[in-house]
Chains A and B, each alone.
Chain A
Amino acid sequence: MPDITLILEVLLIIVKVMVVTMILFGLPLPLTWMERKIAGHIQVRLGPWRVGPHGLLQPFADMIKLLFKEDIIPYKADKFLFTIAPLLAMVPAFAVFVAVPFGDKVMIPFINKEVTLYISDMNVGILYVLAVSGLSIYGVILGGWASNSKYSLLGGLRSAAQMISYEVAISFAVIGVVMLSNSLSLVEIVKSQGNSIFTWNIFYLPVGLVWFVIFLIGSLAEVNRIPFDLNEDEGTLACGFHTEYSGMRFSFFALAEYVAMVTVAILAVILFFGGWNAPFDIPLPIPPIFWLLGKVIIFIYFFMWLRFTLPRYRYDQLMTIGWKVLIPLSLVNLLVTGFMRIG
């Protein structure tokens, strides 16, 4: 007969999983609004304006529109693969958040119980994150293959090749951080970055900065964002692997892309910018989660800012950067990091 504390623990984990999943399902709504508003203002126009005040209800309108669209499965497409491809893209993006910590411990006032702000503190946390996020490549490949369309197939293959190449670069950056923080656990990595802005991993000069740049470029390519989004390019490839998807299935792909972007932003903050640590010792009682969210929002703004500034790389330039620039740079940086950590 399992005792009451075990049942409560399991219940707590289930509640946390549900909270995280609900938040992640709802996140693309403000994110699409933010993206379109930032797009508008960078292009000196207004973005969504009339649907609700300042266009705030625009994501809801988009959601309703996507729900009402006809669900088309192309002729002679592989029905089973076509159906599960969006799910295979979406579920790993959510599953990554099991290991991502949003804070340390929080005391809930009414029950007087301490609750940790992560679902699980694995001591191989970052390894789990890398492994599970690699699964989303299946969704891309299957989506491209199962659509029975030449544009989708090409887009899917190119996308998969791009994602695999830049996974290597991201893994190197993660190895660099692990060397700097001496642990694979994400909570330990944040804790080892101390309390002041100068002990954050990015300021461990010169290697921290280089690892951060490698991680940033690799993760931009991993989530298929400009300047690496040739495979979703609406102009030449007619949207790549999600050309033939419409309605809710397309919204699953879009959701997967936004959640992946959030994942990458949170990872960058945790690995390089001190996670939920405040930059200076400020006497105000600001809960650490606000620092984390503030930094993540700055990163998301930075990704969107990049999107509306840069043109996209050609496919061969993309693969050149992935293999011929990032990997040798990572190896050299690994050597330098090793030397710097001898002491």
Chain B
Amino acid sequence: MSDKNSGFNLIELIKRVVFADFVKGLSITLGYNLSRAISVKYPDQEKWVPYRRWRGLHTLNRDANGRELCVACELCAKACPTGCITVIPMEDDSGRGIADRVAETWRIDLVRCLYCGYCEDACPTRALRLGREYELACTDIRCTIRNREELLVPQPIPEAIEGGFIVRAKFERTSAGIKVVADLRDSKKRLI
């Protein structure tokens, strides 16, 4: 019986002569060469839509009747680790909110915010939810402080969309700034 560990091994020699390991490596890289690149062509052509739990820019929400859910209980301000939320309550019987207590001022400093989501967990009415907007860069330090009115405006990605994929997007230069507008129709999405 020939010992496989002896000095002269015919199979190994044949593999060496035909460069078997080189051929295997080359076939792997050829496979990669002929496959689709996984680069996301952001921001010119594609954009990543986050999944639902993604902790992006905050949103203040309304209930089904259009009344503001925020009752200015200041629990979010107390839960925040950095103290970037400022809430000042006010009495209002006009039906703006679901109760007679609404927020006169609800201010958040985006530069200090960690996007940890403790404020969302603390909110008893689910008024404050972290949305999916992540393009927050701006040229002026003043736009890093967001107020109640801005945060009441719904974000471009509605909650119905499940997210977690890459869609085609358009890069738009508007007078208000640069926006990357995602095309959320189902047929154009890809994973990875």
Contact = CB atoms under 8 A, between A and B. Distances in A.
Contacts of B28: 309
Nearest to B39: A46
Interface string A244-271: 0000000000000000000000000000
Interface of A, secondary structure class, is loop
A42 B29 contact: yes
Interface of B, secondary structure class, is helix
A305 B39 contact: no
A316 B52 CA distance: 57
Contact of A50 (B26, B29, B37, B44): B44
B32 A43 contact: yes
B38 interface: yes
B175 interface: no
A308 B29 contact: yes
Interface in B29-46: 29-30, 32-33, 35, 37-39, 41, 44
Contacts of A310: 22, 25
A111 to B, nearest CB: 45
A46 to B, nearest CB: 4
Given A49-B41, A50-B44, A309 B35 contact: no
Contacts of A40: 37
Contacts of A309: 22, 25-26, 28-29
A46 B32 contact: no
Interface string B158-170: 0000000000000
A44 B26 contact: no
B40 to A, nearest CB: 10
A306 interface: yes
A38 B32 CA distance: 10
A164 B25 CA distance: 29
Contacts of B30: 305
Given A50-B44, A310-B22, A45 B29 contact: no
Interface string A270-310: 00000000000000000000000000000000000110111
Contacts of A305: 26, 29-30, 33
Nearest to A41: B33
A77 to B, nearest CB: 40
Nearest to B28: A309
B33 A38 contact: yes
A45 B33 contact: no
Given A38-B33, A50-B44, A305-B33, A45 B26 contact: no
Contacts of A43: 32
A156 to B, nearest CB: 29
Contacts of B26: 305-306, 309
Nearest to A49: B41
A151 B41 CA distance: 40
B56 to A, nearest CB: 26
A308 B22 CA distance: 12
A188 to B, nearest CB: 31
Interface string A15-46: 00000000000000000000000101111111
A2 to B, nearest CB: 55
A45 B22 contact: no
Nearest to A304: B33
A33 B22 CA distance: 25
A305 B33 CA distance: 9
A42 B27 CA distance: 11
Contacts of A50: 44
Nearest to A39: B33
A42 B33 contact: yes
Contacts of B39: 45-46, 49
B32 A41 contact: yes
Nearest to B21: A310
B37 A46 contact: yes
B171 to A, nearest CB: 12
A310 to B, nearest CB: 7
A40 B29 CA distance: 11
Contact of B38 (A45, A49, A306): A45
Contacts of A46: 37, 39, 41
B138 to A, nearest CB: 24
A45 B37 CA distance: 5
B32 A42 contact: yes
Interface of A: 38, 40-46, 49-50, 305-306, 308-310
Given A44-B32, A45-B39, 4 more contacts: A42-B29, A45-B37, A46-B39, A309-B28
5 contacts: A45-B39, A46-B39, A49-B41, A305-B26, A310-B25
Please name the 10 residue pairs, one residue from A and one from B, whose CB atoms are nearest each other, closest first.
A309-B29, A46-B39, A46-B37, A42-B29, A42-B33, A41-B33, A45-B39, A309-B25, A42-B32, A309-B26
